[in-house]
Amino acid sequence: MTHQIIIAGFGGQGIMLMGQLLAYAGMLEGKNVSWLPSYGPEMRGGTANCNVIISDEPVASPLVTEATAVMAMNRPSLEKFEGAVMSGGLLLINSSLIDKKASRDDIEVCYIPANEIADRLGNSRVANMVVLGSFLAKTGAVSPASIIESLKKVLGPSKEHLIPLNEEALKMGAECANE
């Protein structure tokens, strides 16, 4: 199975972190992975997206032209990448920040109120983990446990206290996707 994923939003939403976590988790699970970040002219507030491939086969190119899944965290990202989802693919929309419905009916669409869920958890910065949890629940690309293991490596010992919050965000995102 090969997952070709585009994650997009604006700088500061944790877009690159989501991609890194997926790539690390894929490596932990012995899969072939690639992670290709792309930034707008400015980091925070500018557009950011990344391509992630997780596969049982060798990865020939890190570029994703036909995505099996797109995670759109803001409206410009939805407008730019909705067309990149292959027919039968998955589109996850952060409905907290995107007031527009998907225009396609040949794909599965999930509306995730990621910012509202993150605010309920007491930290707006975990909206990315809510969407990531929804993605994992829908695709099974990697396990939530591998994501948490990867997060421990990325955050380091000084931020280990944030692990339970991120675990809860993943769980709530998964619940939202399964509703």
- pLDDT tens-digit readout, 45-55: 667 999 999 99
Inform me whether the pLDDT recorded for 42 exceeds 60: no
- pLDDT for res 179: 85
Only one residue has tokens 């570029």, namely 63
CATH assignment at residue 15: 3.40.920.10
In DSSP terms, 93 is beta-bridged to 72, 111
pLDDT at position 47: 77
Supply the pLDDT for residue 99.
Answer: 95
DSSP single-letter state for residue 106: S
Instruction: Give the pLDDT score at 46.
Output: 67
Angle, vertex CA 93, rays to CA 89 and CA 99, nearest 5:
135
Domain housing 78: 2-178
| 51 closest CA partner among 101, 5, 107 | 5
Which pLDDT score, from 0 to 100, does residue 75 have?
Answer: 95
Please report, rounded to a whole number, the percentage of residues in the chain having pLDDT higher than 90. 89
Number of domains the chain is built from: 1
Q: What percent of the chain has pLDDT over 70?
A: 96
Residues 6+ apart with CB under 8 A from 123: 165
- Shortest CA distance to 176 belongs to which of 136, 141, 149, 144? 136
- Sequence-distant (≥ 6) Cβ neighbours of residue 46 within 8 angstroms: 10, 11, 39, 40
118-177 residue pLDDT tens: 999 999 999 999 999 999 999 999 999 999 999 999 888 999 999 999 999 999 999 999
